[in-house]
Amino acid sequence: MRLRTFLAVLLLFSMAALGTACGTHAHEPVEVDELTHRCAICNMAVTDDRHAVQIITKDGQPLLFDDLGCMYAWIMQHGSDAIGAAFVRDYHDLKWLKMEEAYYVYDAAIRTPMAYGVISFADEQAARSFIAEHGSGMLLTADDLAEHTWESDHEHEHAHGHDHGGEQHHDEPHVHTEPGDDGQEHHAPQGAGHGA
């Protein structure tokens, strides 16, 4: 399965590079419409945020995903033959980036909509700064994503209200309710290294 995924992603990057070199790379990202766009894998609403990613097929059809892990699940299921381009969002300014040009950070503690824990950055320094600031994380390139183990921590996701029905924003710190010495419940934020 990993070899198939690696070959599909390698083919995707090769097609993107060839299209750019030939000047025929006309595929552009579409704007997210939160009222109508649904993830092509999990069917959850796609939020216009730093986690939204998309594939534009060779015939110009957009496929949107609420999490980078969902996009990789789609590639594993369908291959890359129909892919014209793939785009991710910069974590800081939300600009669309070509997937093959971005840098990524993985940490199971990073909260993403479907709990895959991978976020994207426009440049390597921004990704390294995020890791340094949060004290954990693994720097990945687009090529590394093909070898990445795409496992969703759904237990973590649902235990903390991360599913799309939860009211808590994906990037807000977790808040746990704990009984105090006085018998009353008190809210205590979970560790600082846990937020994205």
- pLDDT by residue (tens digit) across 87-132? 999 999 999 999 999 999 999 999 999 999 999 999 999 999 999 9
Q: State the Cα–Cα distance between residues 159 and 105, nearest whole angstrom.
A: 23
Is 5:146 a contact under the CB 8 Å cutoff?
yes
Q: Of 129-133, 161-165, 177-181, where does the model show the most confidence?
A: 129-133
In tens, the pLDDT along 145-157 reads 988 988 887 654 4
Q: What is the pLDDT of residue 12?
A: 54
Structure-model confidence comparison of residues 181 and 191, the more confident one:
181
Band (62; pLDDT cuts 50, 70, 90): very high
Predicted structure pTM score: 0.69
Please report, for residues 71, 107, 117, 164, 178, the alpha-carbon distance to residue 189 in angstroms, rounded to integers and kept in the order given. Answer: 31, 19, 20, 21, 10
Mean pLDDT over residues 70-78, rounded? 94
The band of 26, judged by pLDDT with boundaries at 50, 70 and 90, is: confident
Average predicted confidence (pLDDT) for the chain: 78
Q: How far apart are alpha carbons 95 and 121 in whole angstroms?
A: 9
**Amino acid letter at 11?**
L
Percentage of the chain lying above the pLDDT 90 cut: 61
Query: Residue 91: its pLDDT value, please?
Result: 98
pLDDT band with cut points at 50, 70 and 90 for residue 3: low
| 53 CB-near residues (< 8 Å, 6+ apart) | 64, 65, 67, 68, 70, 71, 86, 87, 88, 89, 99, 120
User: What are the tokens at 85?
Assistant: 């381009």
pLDDT at 151: 86
